[in-house]
Structure 1
Amino acid sequence: MRKENSDFKTSFLSEAGSFLQNKDYFAYTELDDVACWVAVKGLDSDQEISSAELAVKAILEKFMEKPSMSRRSIKKYLRNAQAILQAQSLRVRLKASIVMVVSDYSKMIVAVAGNSRLYHFRNGTLSYKTTDQSLAQEIVNSRNRSLDISQHEERSNLLNYLGKPEDFKPFVSKKMKLLDGDVLVLCTAGFWEDVNEIEMADALEDAKDPEQYTDLLEEVLLSRQRKVVNNYTIATIFANKVYQETNKKKMKYIKMIAAALIVALVVGGSTLFYQAKQAKKMAELTVEMKDHEKSGNLYFQDGNYEKALLEYSEGRNAAKKLKDPIHRNLLAKKLRITDLILNGDKSAEEGKFTDALEQYEKAKKEGKLIKNFGKEATEQRIANMDTIVQIAEAVKDGDFRFEAEDYNGALETYEKARKKALTISYTGEPQIKTKIEETEAKIAELKKAQKELKAEGLEKSGDQSYARQEYGKAIEYYTLAQEIYQETELLSKVLGLERKVMNANDKLNPPPQAPATDIDPSYEAAIPFEEGAAANESSDAEVMKEGK
């Protein structure tokens, strides 16, 4: 009977985008006491089996067999879908990213495996958003929480998903209370990568029902005019009226009566305390709202539009809590103008100059309504558009020269483009600087190769001179080659030439031989026997003569 005493409206669309096949799938069922909504994005390349459809049907089939809102049951539904995908992985491994919501029309539980998402809006403000199970999310959590995951290169590097071979660990939330007027958005990556929560909240202000809201969200997505539009799924749920829980337990009634008696006894003091607490809260919100607006204005003046966007959003949320329509509308308009300038800059960087000019013109027009807010920034961009076109053409020409290996020509062209970019503070200047650095590295690499080639030639000439016994010339060639190798930091070559120079020096200037001094004691022993005998006879004769 819960369904009859609540009012939940659902609208959805799931499109293939620029592709022939839509790998996304969405379905839901609303039973008397519990409902289930499931959005899945297929991640595999199988053309015959839709992993997304297979997963959704597997979950809803088990859910309808045994409807439950317990976390344990929800994990069983997911594991059943996981088992079916693994069993059907015949040609390729079937993979899918899933987000599902189970509700008893009063509370809800959210389950995620991958990077399909749920956004929960309350009073027009984002109240809760699921966390992706991706490497990008891990990086954001551990290093920099201000990074934009929607553009992070690792956003599709999923750490968990349906069909994972092992260690499948989906996220299943605790029960979260729903209130009248809450809005839920289930979507796949093809949608949230191009539409942020600020734009979702803005679209919600103009939507009267889920059908209109879904259409508005699709318009925002398609207004990006991407060359390639991925599969996308958007499902919106309007909880116009949630089921009011009834309590039949006597103990709870007793506690309620006791609490009411206590309140009646201290009503005077508690009323004053409540009023003081509310006044303090309102004052804090007012300060918070003004601080966010002030910070946003400073960031805007400095040209840091992304941070300004965040500050204006926070300020607008505070204004909504204060129920201050004047500041809420003012901050919403500043938010809108800042977003238009950011989108214009992005279009200009992508070479979509007509789109960029259109965004700037819109920002200028809407800024007139709030004391020409952003007038200087938009007029400067409009005036600089011709220069931006010239810069883009120069960069394109530089890219062409770079691909043709005319690195000197490419460097000259990039440097001219960067000089123009610096004069107008063009946001694409860092990318041009990177191209210059890459080109300079290529030129340095070629120069080094030319030097090495010259050194090799000199070393070869030295070898030839050495072979002709022209040792002086060989040393000259080796020395010149050695100097070049030192410049190019080829130390092994330097050492090799050092040995060649030493060898040539030895040949050119051989070391002198030591002169003969004393007779070697072994000299006598080396005299032939006949000569020794004759000498002895002569000596004996002389002795006899002297004796005589």
Structure 2
Amino acid sequence: MEKPAMSRRAINKYLKHAQNILQAQSLRVRLKASIVIVVSDYSKMIVGIAGNSRLYHFRNGTLTYKSTDQSLAQEIVDIQHRSLDISQHEERGNLLNYLGKPNKFQPFVSKKMKLIDGDVLLLCTAGFWEDVSEIEMADALEGVKDSEQYTDLLEEILLSRQRKVVANYTVAAIFVNKVYQETNKNKMKYIKMIAVALVLALIVSGGTIFYQVKQAKKIAELTVEMKDHEKSGNLYFQDGNYDEALLEYSEGRNAAKKIKDPIHRNILAKKLRVTQLIINGDKSAEAGQFTEALEQYEKAKKEGKLIKGFGKEEVEQRITNMDSVVEIVDAIKDGDFRFEAEDYNGALAIYEKARKKALAISFTGEAQIKTKIEETEEKINELKKAQKELQAEGLEKAGDQSYARQEYAKAIESYTLAQEIYQETELLAKVLGLERKIMNTNDKLNPVPQGQAADNALPDEAEPPIDEATDASAS
């Protein structure tokens, strides 16, 4: 307010000034904040970001710009060149830059962006955007008249999630009702503009038809695009791939907005809403929040009625299967308890029954159960391997004792059995060690005639054969 400016350099300087003040006040504890600021001269805007607070810029009900986070999750997505929503990414709160950072502070400052009448700016913290999707933000714009009505509606959407713990959230909206149009007092500029307009008039008179044809072609292309997205969305929906269906419906609705087709726009918006509710219900069911899941399914059923019962079968099937879902989730918990208690066989039996039920009702958490089964089987195999190794070690020890008593045939029998078990468990070093013992014992059992073995005579007393690997280790 003291030194207003619209340059990137000035905004950067303001943010760093705030950073210095916050650091100076961090006496007992380190103060820190995620911040988003918008500076405007009523015709353009510039955005400053530090952390993961965000700006969403909507034009004609469509998202045209979203600020990027300064977080590890955003960096991972950028490196992988993937267009993903990071609202549920586990690293979304791991900030690489924020106000109050002790070391190098580097805020992001955008270029100047033009504003037009009817634009809507939404500024919010992570506590808001983690639970409210961009689609819901855009949908909420329909029919609202001012920023207060808009933020009230968004808050209702956020609180409808009914989380046990609601994170701190801040959301602010700016409706650009009328941008500032600069008046030009220089008459020469008006004269030049009129002269240029006269020249352009000659060109435009011939170019108007071309423009109209081009515009009609564009509308036709967008119409085809809109219908293709809806068709693809329907196929994904039928296959149960709701995330992909959501994306296709969103693209289709955006195309409908561009060609100003309110009928298809509303249909696709409803399909979007039903699909999102089913996804939310499935997530709640997987988390064991069955009451919330039923509420989401009932909402989906109610809203689907408005477009010829869209999603009715899928939703009703989920409501019917809810008792089975409860049984499956309870079984998973029981299996987890047995797994933690190292009762792996008991856990495996429970997981397998739960998976069978999950497959029967196409439960979305079936993949999670499959992973648990694989982990349990791995533990069981490890235990079996350890038991076999102990058995082989016992047989090897018995062979050593038989060898010491000069019971060479019995020793070879014990060594051979132990060697077979070591081979099963792929302990190759042990297999080779026993091969030496068997050969040495066999020499004792079937000694070479005395004349041929004069140079290699052994002491009379019998000693257990020592494998070379063990001897080298001892020395």
TM-score normalized by the length of structure 1: 0.78
Could you tell me how far 1:117 is from its partner in structure 2?
0.9
- What's the secondary structure of 1:186's corresponding residue? strand
Could you tell me how far 1:119 is from its partner in structure 2?
0.4
> Which residue of structure 2 lines up, in the alignment, with residue 274 of structure 1?
211
In structure 1, distance between residues paired with 2:366 and 2:14: 51
Could you tell me how far 1:80 is from its partner in structure 2?
2.2
- What's the secondary structure of 2:210's corresponding residue? helix
Match of 1:454 among 391, 405, 409: 391
Which amino acid is 2:377 matched to?
E
Q: 1:81 to 1:478 in 2, by over 3 A?
A: farther
Could you tell me how far 1:133 is from its partner in structure 2?
2.3
Where do residues 154-303 of structure 1 align in structure 2 (5 Å cutoff)? Answer: 154-248=91-185, 252-303=189-240
Which amino acid is 2:221 matched to?
E
Q: Whose relative contact order is higher, 1 or 2, with alpha carbons under 8 Å and at least 6 apart?
A: 1
> Which residue of structure 2 lines up, in the alignment, with residue 312 of structure 1?
249
Which amino acid is 1:302 matched to?
D
- What's the secondary structure of 1:119's corresponding residue? strand
In structure 1, distance between residues paired with 2:419 and 2:4: 83
Which amino acid is 1:367 matched to?
G
RMSD after superposition: 2.1
Could you tell me how far 1:126 is from its partner in structure 2?
0.8
Could you tell me how far 1:196 is from its partner in structure 2?
0.8
Unaligned runs of 5+ in 2: 454-475
Number of residue pairs aligned between Structure 1 and Structure 2: 453
> Which residue of structure 1 lines up, in the alignment, with residue 333 of structure 2?
396
Where do residues 324-363 of structure 1 align in structure 2 (5 Å cutoff)? Answer: 324-363=261-300
Where do residues 17-166 of structure 1 align in structure 2 (5 Å cutoff)? Answer: 64-91=1-28, 93-143=30-80, 145-166=82-103
Q: Is the 8 A contact 1:96 1:162 kept in 2?
A: yes
Q: Is the 8 A contact 1:96 1:161 kept in 2?
A: yes
Which amino acid is 1:450 matched to?
Q
In structure 2, distance between residues paired with 1:408 and 1:259: 86
Could you tell me how far 1:451 is from its partner in structure 2?
0.9
> Which residue of structure 1 lines up, in the alignment, with residue 308 of structure 2?
371
- What's the secondary structure of 2:447's corresponding residue? coil
Which has the larger displacement, 242-251 or 338-347? 242-251
The structure with the larger Rg is 1
> Which residue of structure 2 lines up, in the alignment, with residue 536 of structure 1?
none
Q: Is the 8 A contact 1:118 1:187 kept in 2?
A: yes
In structure 1, distance between residues paired with 2:16 and 2:442: 81
Is 1:381 paired with 2:348? no
> Which residue of structure 2 lines up, in the alignment, with residue 31 of structure 1?
none
Q: 1:515 to 1:70 in 2, by over 3 A?
A: closer
- What's the secondary structure of 2:217's corresponding residue? helix
Which amino acid is 1:173 matched to?
S
Could you tell me how far 1:147 is from its partner in structure 2?
3.0
- What's the secondary structure of 2:87's corresponding residue? helix
Cα deviation 1:475-527 (Å, max 9, x = unaligned): 222222222122212222222222322332333333323279xxxxxxxxxxx
Q: 1:107 to 1:515 in 2, by over 3 A?
A: closer
> Which residue of structure 2 lines up, in the alignment, with residue 57 of structure 1?
none
In structure 2, distance between residues paired with 1:398 and 1:409: 7
Match of 1:470 among 396, 399, 407: 407
In structure 2, distance between residues paired with 1:131 and 1:515: 86
Cα deviation 1:145-199 (Å, max 9, x = unaligned): 2433111222223333334454433221110011122111111111111111101
- What's the secondary structure of 2:141's corresponding residue? helix
Which has the larger displacement, 141-150 or 473-482? 141-150
> Which residue of structure 1 lines up, in the alignment, with residue 462 of structure 2?
none
Is 1:425 paired with 2:362? yes
More strand by share: 1
Which has the larger displacement, 90-99 or 491-500? 90-99
- What's the secondary structure of 1:149's corresponding residue? coil
Cα deviation 1:392-440 (Å, max 9, x = unaligned): 2222221222122211111111111111111111111101111111111
In structure 2, distance between residues paired with 1:515 and 1:483: 33
Runs of 4+ in 1 over 6 A off after TM superposition: none
TM-score normalized by the length of structure 2: 0.89
- What's the secondary structure of 1:151's corresponding residue? coil
In structure 2, distance between residues paired with 1:314 and 1:251: 47
Q: 1:487 to 1:93 in 2, by over 3 A?
A: farther
In structure 1, distance between residues paired with 2:213 and 2:345: 73
- What's the secondary structure of 1:460's corresponding residue? helix
